Chain A
Amino acid sequence: MVTFQFIPYQDIDTLTSAKRINKLLNIVKDNRIVIMEGRLTKQEEADLIEITMEEIGPKFKGIELSVIYPDKNTQDVGQKLKNTFASILLGDRLGLTIIGPASIVKKIEKNPDKIELFTKELSANIGRFTKKAKYG
């Protein structure tokens, strides 16, 4: 069985970068797949990889990570302004971050429109997240 855990943005909004990363990694190390509203900053993504490497051992082989985010090039000026103000006021809630333990998630395939998640146990496509579903 594969367990997903949804993390709303408000759960990480007030946390420091280190605490955010720890929270997400602890869930993943508990063999659950995180689906987080919003995304980490670029620096936090790099920190997440770094801390993941420090934690790798016999029981934890690392993570699979993927982020789906609206393509800013396809947005009109109004949408861009709206999203910028929303980000300033509420944080960067746009997008979806998926982090899974490498022992369970075989790969996450992504192209601009969708994310497909394959697990090791099922070796089959178990989840599909499309931009249309999220943003359409």
Chain B
Amino acid sequence: MVKSLLRSILQKLTANPFSRKSHVKLGLYGPPNGGKSTLANRICTDWLGEEMSSVSHIAHETREIVIKEQVTIKNKRGKELTFSLVDTPGIATKIDYEEFLRKGLNKVEAKKRAKEATKGVIDSIKWLDNMDSVVVVLDATIDPYSQVNITIIGNLQARNIPVIIAANKVDLRKANTDLINAAFPQYPVIGISAKYGKNVEDFYEQIFKVVK
């Protein structure tokens, strides 16, 4: 403990106060199936030329924290921003393995997925403290007034973590970005389609404004 305290003091003394923070962590948070991994893949494909996470129509596809280091994005004025992108498992208050059965998984797979999903939710919550900025990815076709959304955003606010809300799936007819704006008026809300890349330029510009 003394060793780690000394190391932390030494790091603070040797750090250049004028240098830009080099290990900014940008987290993707939200309920399951909002499109966090699709957005992670969009960002990585656009800027690194490769995908980051696997996606699925079955909820809780991402059950472990996935990190992509050194993602550098560039804005219209040529300014660069480098961060570690953290794709997190969706946060939920319930996990029912029978729902996975209905989606076509067998009993063993469904039980395994449910067990891993519960651990994933716990990890996501524990990782909140490690984030420098967060994109909350919400499905714009679903009612945003869920307690999970409010709890996630409330916890980010309590930790003074800057937030962008990505209202995803605007390519779908049912999408309603205005409702998300009304639910969370204190945060910038950007309507995007991570799947088709719609409006992602505005989203990247917003990252420059918010990421600290």
Contacts and interface: CB of A to CB of B under 8 A. Distances in A.
Contacts of B96: 61-62, 102
Contacts of B92: 49, 62
A50 B125 contact: yes
Nearest to A41: B158
Given A52-B93, A53-B95, A62-B92, A46 B155 contact: yes
B145 A111 contact: yes
B95 A46 contact: no
Contacts of B148: 49, 65
Given A43-B155, A46-B125, A56-B118, A67 B95 contact: no
B31 to A, nearest CB: 11
Interface residues of A, number: 23
B143 A54 contact: no
A30 to B, nearest CB: 17
B114 A54 contact: no
Contacts of A43: 155, 158
A50 B155 contact: no
Given A49-B93, A56-B114, A62-B92, A67 B155 contact: no
B94 A66 contact: no
Nearest to B121: A53
B94 A64 contact: yes
A64 B148 CA distance: 9
Given A50-B125, A110-B145, A42 B157 contact: yes
Contacts of A49: 91-93, 121, 125, 148, 151
A102 B94 CA distance: 6
A65 to B, nearest CB: 5
B161 interface: no
A109 interface: yes
B150 A67 contact: yes
A110 B146 CA distance: 7
A63 interface: yes
Interface in B133-165: 143, 145-148, 150-151, 154-155, 157-158
A58 to B, nearest CB: 9
Contact of B151 (A42, A53, A102): A42
Given A56-B118, A61-B94, 19 more contacts: A42-B155, A43-B155, A49-B91, A49-B121, A49-B125, A49-B151, A52-B93, A53-B119, A62-B92, A62-B94, A62-B96, A64-B93, A65-B147, A67-B150, A108-B147, A109-B143, A110-B145, A110-B146, A112-B145
